[in-house]
Structure 1
Amino acid sequence: MTKETQYNEDNIRSLDWKEHIRMRPGMYIGKLGDGSSADDGIYILVKEVLDNCIDEFVMGAGKTIEISIQGDKVIVRDYGRGIPLGKVVDVVSKMNTGGKYDSRAFKKSVGLNGVGTKAVNALSNYFRVESTRDGKSASAEFERGELTNQEHLDETSRRRGTKVSFIPDESIFKNYKFRSEYVERLIKNYVYLNPGLTIVFNGEKYFSENGLKDLLSESIAEGDRLYPIIHLKGDDIEVAMTHSRTQYSEEYHSFVNGQNTTQGGTHQAAFRESIVRTIREFYNKNYDASDIRKSIVSAISIKVMEPVFESQTKTKLGSTDMGGDLPTVRTYINDFLKRSLDNFLHKNTEVADALQRKILQAERERKDLSGIRKLAKERAKKANLHNKKLRDCRIHLTDSKKERNLETTLFITEGDSASGSITKSRDVNTQAVFSLKGKPLNSYGLTKKIVYENEEFNLLQAALNIEESIEDLRYNNIVIATDADVDGMHIRLLLITFFLQFFPELIKEGHLYILETPLFRVRNKKETIYCYSEQERQDAMAKLGAKPEITRFKGLGEISPDEFKYFIGEDIRLAPVMLDKALMIEELLSFYMGKNTPDRQKFIIENLKVELDRVDEL
């Protein structure tokens, strides 16, 4: 008979606000991460502080925000109205305290839950807030949410506004590092959505005059636009769109009250639906929805009264109503597009003709592919039953909402030895392995047909589940895990070419990474240190002293499964593959992967760097 577990008053525990945030940080900031992904927690902390500054700007207070990130310290300064001096401590340390509950002050605010800066405070080992207004100031300092110091000045010459400084707690965010590219992307989205706002980041100014049109100008190079960007604005809505000449997939940037809803929501679904309806009615043709939306690159921003998001990090809108006397989100967006986009196409016949040609081309390509796609799906179905290439995990990104914050990863490896080591040491719940056989095909210049004809590409596409849409992606992270030798680098390049050619949004949305593995193991009888660079090796040698044993890893297959678990577990190091600016992908691939040998040869010679191992020390 099973012994009954006691359950009494001693089992009930009340956590104070900071304990709860620190014990369950994922509830407040999503995943933790080390800064290698754009949605890692350290960027959510920056965003939570910035959201308050943006709300001040929206209310007409303060046109400039200054941000400084040096090492692990973040400083954010606005020139808004400043937190009321008597409430400086409460606003950053008492739950359900804030100005945004007063809808008169903040009608269409980003955050309404009063949690944001409290989470930053609780998850920082140093946090300082300072408010200045009416020639006076007040400041408070905290350590992991505990108040350590308070000051009041009855007279100051400082400009009004709020200044927040913090250092994320390394015991929660392990081995983290801020990547300026992700902070810049966050900042650019803020200025696109708030024309007239200037944000200064580490001395560089960011400003936008044309809103979402500027966002799309950066997202898609001019030479890749099928027609000039269509830019439409209403009272609580702004839309920008064009179609790509070369991209196969749909690309959406969606926002609610200035919040980047990376997982879409009711507004993005309504936008996709309304584009199809409006274009069908304009041409009076019942075109297939996928043909209309194929290659679209677009952005939508709406403002909603008291929005309801599906998570604390506000990445997906759940609201169905605009608020107040306005209709539903779906009706509002549909009416706006039906009126504004229809008018635009009537006035701009060249754009309308180019768009129709693109739709007809997509229709032809879809019909041409239908036969081979059917064969490929049947082949993939049979292969999946005995697929030796994919060793899948149990949890996927497309599973229940409860699992969305879990890091699900697909490692793409070369050869049996490397895939064997990773397979034996991986977390079977969240880490899958796809094993390549030799070098993949150079897909530059090939059509989508090759994805179905080439068994390896077809199985990779099936493993990722991205044939129809990136929204069906089964893994947060796609990690290329190849040796750091010439062959391994070549395989990386061929895989990146495949993704750029057919699924560039995976790179644009930050899903593709390179696995960093240690170059050296330095150890003595007491301690083992894995080193990822020559500098780390020297530091490890200095730390361990007395001639430690040094091993140089030449390939992934040399690393035993027992050791590999350290490199793909909590301390995994990933280098994100990024497209920093609106590069013309066609030109990029043409130069590096096309038949321009003399130009490329000259580039290699001029940029070649030779690194010699210091063999004498090994």
Structure 2
Amino acid sequence: MAEQKSTYTEDSIKSLDWREHIRLRPGMYIGKLGDGSAQDDGIYVLVKEVLDNSIDEHMMGYGRTIDIKISEHQVEVRDYGRGIPLGKVIDCVSKINTGGKYDSGAFQKSVGLNGVGTKAVNALSSHFTVQSFRDGETKKASFEKGILIEDHPVAPTKERNGTRVIFTPDDTVFKNYHFIPDYLENQIWNYAFLNAGLSIQFNGKKYFSERGLYDLLLRKVDEDALRYPIIHLKGNDIELALTHSNQYGEEYYSFVNGQYTTQGGTHLAAFREAIVKTIREFYKKDFDAADIRQSVVAAIAVRVQEPVFESQTKTKLGSQSVGPDGPTLRTFVNDFVKTALDNYLHKHPDAADALLKRILQSERERKEISGIKKLANERAKKANLHNKKLRDCRIHYDDPKANEEAKNNTMLFITEGDSASGSITKSRNVQTQAVFSLRGKPLNCYGMTKKVVYENEEFNLLQHALNIEDGIEGLRYRKIVIATDADVDGMHIRLLIMTYFLQFFPDLVKNGHLYILDTPLFRVRNKKETIYCYTDEERQRAIHKLGKSAEITRFKGLGEISPEEFGGFIGEDIRLDPIILNKETKIADLLGFYMGKNTPNRQTFIIDNLKIEKDIVFDDPKQAQEEEEQAQAS
């Protein structure tokens, strides 16, 4: 039979309007879609795009307050800036490349410059309303999925000048989405830190910062863990905060024109380089760069005229200069750090002494483990990771040539035992999902030094699989997913893996890369339908829907779930619970309590918080007997 070939004619060429293009290729405008379990999922980008316009108004000197209300599915943002010119309200949210920020004289160092952001929010919302208040008059328009459905005439108003935007993300685009309050709070705090003096009211709570990036670091790091007081330096179009802690790794927060560049870029690379160069010159000693940056916690914010980002979501800066006629960004950052940090260390000898001690400690620790590190890395190279522990995928997070959306979907499942890893391996997406199989329970590494990472074969192979030995810049997977059984042993293994990451790679957790895989506890089915239930409440609803004669299976381990079924749990509808560290979470105290040797205290805590689950009661005796027989058979 001859192979059919598609024709390529004039009819093959199609033109999409702005709304159709955004809805067809949303990833081009807001990055990955997601369900809200990751801090860079699309629903948070929608919030950011609307907020950015309000922030730009504040930066221009209009409006000191922004009101935000976010419920389960609806977002409302009200600023008190100048308000969109009434005759352009509809155009500004529905005509691509239309906006007030192309004139660099008006918005020289704006967050949003390309006139796309709010239009993307409009097109990707089931309901979108914009209302402008300007000099005693107001104009309102409502849309559905980018289509104008109601155009209100200009009317008088007594409300203060400004703009209100209300939208509901489209649940056909963002499937099963939910806002995680911690992510929203971090997002809003960043706006407050970067705009000292701006007051943001979020769901009735006030967010306000007087000291900018200094306050940011105070929120991110436990004060007890700081080796010296936070160094806070400000100049024209640049601000930075810097300190060292007792934790492993490097922790950075970088911003451009108020935008949180989660993937760094030119400004962050220049900052890391400038720290090393300045400290070497100050102490007149050629320290190893890794020793200087070990345990650093820092933040940098720069203002750049017409910045060039590597994607519409603006998570990585590509600009090489401060402005058309300005110095290169590398030179600008280097010059400021060299002068300001050097001056600070000369004026504060106590901080300089504490910094030197931290560097010498890192140098000592590095030399102590250099021998075992060399041997361990040689073993890791000899070990065939692809056959022994790691079933790798084809696309990786650190691949500069890979598709951005695919990179953001890369994940590594950490499993226990061959049966669980076998089910995941057979059902995974080989393009973006990899599997790392543990052999039994890993070592409790609480309180140990990083030497154990190299002495323990599994820990060493895991850090090599993730490519995080020298920091998380080369991380090979966007999400690290702990996939263990929902029983006591599985929970214990989960805690041990979390301890490994919190002890030695806390920056990986703080940057939102660690997750728990949520798998169903029950399968309820009849001859027509099968329902998977993640909680007992869902099981009860499924029984009510399918009838009391439905067959109920309790999954006791991941290995009991067939590969065919598992594919549905790690595909498009995957449920992931992110590991989130908030301000109140002190890593040292957390690990000490749950993983240390304070057995009596922990025992008391367990007894006080013990919950007894009620036995499952069936109205039908026959069903109860069948359930018992199934349990015995398994």
**TM superposition score category, shorter chain reference:** over 0.9
Amino acid aligned to 1:263: Q
Q: Deviations over 1:173-212 (max 9, x none)?
A: 1111111110101000000000111111111111111100
Provide the C-alpha distance between the structure 1 equivalents of 2:365 and 2:517, rounded to a whole number of angstroms.
36
Shift, 1:582, TM fit: 5.0
| Mapping for residues 337-376 of structure 1, pairs under 5 Å | 337-376=337-376
Which residue pairs with 1:501 in the alignment?
Answer: 503
C-alpha distance in 1, partners of 2:526/2:508? Answer: 42
Moved more, 593-602 or 172-181: 593-602
Shift of 1:458: 0.6
Q: Please give the alpha-carbon distance, in whole angstroms, between the structure 2 residues aligned to 1:434 and 1:179.
A: 28
Q: What is aligned with 1:81?
A: 82
- 1:433 aligned partner: 435
Offset of 1:537 from its aligned partner? 1.5
CA distance in 2, matches of 1:401, 1:76: 37
401, 417, 420: which one pairs with 1:418?
Answer: 420
SS of 1:411 mapped into structure 2:
strand
Q: Secondary structure at the match of 2:233?
A: strand
Which of 554, 557, 560 is 1:558 aligned to?
A: 560
In the other structure, the counterpart of 1:528 is: 530
Instruction: Tell me the SS of whatever aligns to 1:378.
Output: helix
Contact 2:267–2:330 at 8 Å: present in 1 too?
yes
Counterpart position of 2:123: 122
Determine if the alignment matches structure 1 residue 234 to structure 2 residue 230.
no
CA distance in 2, matches of 1:377, 1:8: 57
Q: Is the 8 A contact 1:220 1:583 kept in 2?
A: no
Q: Deviations over 1:92-151 (max 9, x none)?
A: 000010011121221100011100000000001111111111111111111111100011
Match of 1:542 in 2: 544
Measure, in 1, the Cα distance between the counterparts of 2:36 and 2:341.
39
Distance 1:531 1:3, change over 3 A: closer
Structure 1 375/359 Cα, relative in aligned 2: closer, same or farther at 3 Å? same
Of 324-333 and 385-394, the range deviating more from structure 2:
385-394
3-state SS of paired residue (1:101): coil
- Which range moved further: 226-235 or 547-556? 547-556
CA distance in 1, matches of 2:23, 2:6: 28
Q: Which amino acid aligns with 2:256?
A: V
1:4 is displaced (CA, Å) by 6.4
Quote the Cα distance in structure 2 between the aligned partners of 1:267 and 1:292. 19
Contact 1:223 1:584 survives alignment (8 Å) = no
Amino acid at match of 1:35: G
- Match of 1:284, as an amino acid? K
SS class of match (1:616): coil
Matches within 5 A, 1:376-455: 376-384=376-384, 387-406=387-406, 407-455=409-457
SS of 2:39's equivalent in the other structure is coil
- Cα distance in 2, alignment partners of residues 338 and 54 from structure 1: 31
With 392-401 and 27-36 compared, the bigger mean Cα shift is at 392-401
Equivalent residue of 1:100, what SS?
Answer: coil
Distance 1:137 1:154 in 2: 5
1:13 Cα deviation from its structure 2 partner: 0.3
1:301 aligned residue? 301
Once the two structures are aligned, what percentage of the paired residues are identical?
Answer: 69
Letter in structure 2 aligned against 1:339: T
Amino acid at match of 1:19: E
Q: Who is 1:333 aligned against?
A: 333
Farther off after superposition, 248-257 or 586-595:
586-595
Counterpart AA for 1:448 = K
Number of aligned pairs? 617
Contact 1:219–1:582 under 8 Å retained in 2:
no
CA contact 1:483–1:555 (8 Å) conserved in 2: yes
**Secondary structure class of the residue paired with 2:383:** helix
Q: Who is 1:489 aligned against?
A: 491
Q: For each residue in 1:65-109, what CA deviation from the matched residue of structure 2 results, as whole angstroms up to 9, or x when unmatched?
A: 111111111111111111111111100000010011121221100
2:598 pairs, out of 596, 599, 605, with 596
The correspondence for 1:473, drawn from 451, 467, 475, is 475
Alpha carbons 2:386, 2:392 under 8 Å: kept: no
In structure 2, give the amino acid aligned to 1:487: D
Aligned counterparts of 2:8 and 2:405: Cα–Cα separation in 1: 31
1:376-423, Cα deviation, whole Å (9 max, x unpaired): 111111112564211111111111344232201100111111111111
SS at the partner of 1:205?
strand
**Structure-2 separation of matches of 1:11 and 1:251:** 50
Q: CA deviation at 1:314?
A: 0.2
Equivalent position of 2:14 in the other structure: 13
SS at match of 1:176: coil
C-alpha displacement of 1:7: 2.1
Give the superposed CA RMSD.
1.3
Whether contact under 8 Å (1:409, 1:430) holds in the other structure is: yes
Q: How many angstroms does 1:59 deviate by?
A: 0.9
- For the 8 Å contact 1:397–1:403, the answer to whether it is kept is no
Whether the 8 Å contact between 1:242 and 1:297 is mirrored in structure 2 is yes
How far residue 613 of structure 1 moved from its aligned partner, in angstroms, is 4.1
Tell me the distance in 2 between the aligned counterparts of 1:535 and 1:3. 51
The TM-score with structure 2 as length reference comes to 0.95
Inter-CA distance 140–598: structure 2 relative to 1 (3 Å threshold): same
CA distance in 2, matches of 1:199, 1:478: 33
Closer/same/farther in 2, CA of residues 77 and 549 from structure 1, 3 Å limit: same
> Which residue type is aligned with residue 31 of structure 1?
K
Aligned partners of 1:128 and 1:276: how far apart in 2? 49
The answer to whether residue 289 in structure 2 is matched with residue 289 in structure 1 is yes
| Separation (CA, whole Å) in 2 of partners of 1:239 and 1:254 | 9
Q: Is the 8 A contact 2:230 2:242 kept in 1?
A: yes
In structure 1, how many angstroms separate the alpha carbons of the residues matched to 2:602 and 2:554?
32
Instruction: Tell me which residue corresponds to 1:137.
Output: 138
Residues 3 and 153 from structure 1, CA distance in 2 versus in 1: closer, same or farther, beyond 3 angstroms?
A: closer
Between the aligned partners of 2:542 and 2:163, the Cα distance in structure 1 is 43
Residue type matched to 1:603 in 2?
F
* Aligned amino acid, residue 329 of structure 1: L
* Distance (whole Å) between structure 1 residues aligned to residue 588 and residue 548 of structure 2: 54
- Asked whether the equivalents of residues 396 and 402 of structure 2 are also in contact (C-alpha less than 8 Å), the reply is no
Residues 61-76 of structure 1: pairs in structure 2 closer than 5 A: 61-76=62-77
* Structure 1 runs, 4 residues or longer, greater than 6 Å off: 1-4
Unaligned runs of 5+ in 2: 625-634
Q: Which residue of 2 aligns with 1:248?
A: 248
- Residues 73, 4 of structure 1: alpha-carbon distance in 2 compared, 3 angstrom cutoff: closer
74 and 401 in structure 1: CA distance in 2 versus 1, 3 angstrom threshold: farther
> Which residue number corresponds to residue 632 of structure 2?
none
TM superposition score normalised by structure 1: 0.98
